[in-house]
Structure 1
Amino acid sequence: MTKDISLGAFLCALGLAGIYLTAQVPSSTFTDDPGPHLFPYFSCAILILCGFGMAITARGREVRGQDSQESFMTPTEVARSALLIGLLVLYGLSLWLVGFHIATPIMTFAFYACIAGRERLSILRGAIYTAAVYGALCLLFITFLHSYLPEGQVF
């Protein structure tokens, strides 16, 4: 069994465990609130779909004899992954400290810069991407879901 098949199975199991744990959370009493179940169920379904897709494609490559023995991640990919994890932690802390409206645009641009890398980084493209993501999130949470966004401790 290859790494991709076992990782796909792990993601499926993680998604199923998340669904089980989400079902244990009590429902909300607000009438317009989507409740505490919507986003966990949605993300667990994505985990299951991605894990299943990863396992199926890896199995197909294995059957066709195309399974390569390349290394899992290069040192550059490991460093970039560690930076992305650090940015996620920093985003969570900044949401708590300065709130959604300040933290989200700054951290969205930081995510874009990290993913694009130095060779493909474009300030204009990053600004457009940041504005689009921020606008879409505001539209989703404020307009459609009528939910409150973190205001932060400082403001």
Structure 2
Amino acid sequence: RFCDAFHIPLLTFVDVPGFLPGTAQEHGGIIRHGAKLLFAYGEATVPKLTVICRKAYGGAYDVMSSKHLRSDSNYAWPGAEVAVMGAKGAAEIIFRGKDVEARAREYAEKFANPMVAAQRGFVDDIIEPEDTRRRLCEDLRALRGKRMYVRERKHSNIPL
């Protein structure tokens, strides 16, 4: 919200294995804090650029300036994993402990790679790490004059 107030572009490098489940996290306010972050990214009108470096799992990834939140550019490095959850955890749940290692590799190939994410429109391009700075600078130049129409309203309704 601070960056949006002063028209500072948002640059997000994503490596998030998901929200940690558990009652301690729930009592600590993980849902409330996640909702605030989701709201801030969703409401931001400044240029939003995202680079998925490693893991981008589940709702935690969605909250971090994903395409679902109207990120202007969303890139992934070749080794990135974009999925609902990690391959091993998914294989354990889906196949109930039967040949978990092989099933995890199969899941990773089929679902958790950046090519699948790009095909589905969740990622704009898969870029090499050494090209990241150049691509982000090009995007920031192109988005310098970005203006979004924001519907007139009295105030927003932030989740507290």
TM-score computed with the length of structure 1 as normaliser: 0.33
Q: Choose 1 or 2 for highest CA Rg.
A: 1
Q: TM-score, normalised by structure 2?
A: 0.32
Higher helix share: 1
Pick the structure with more strand per residue: 2
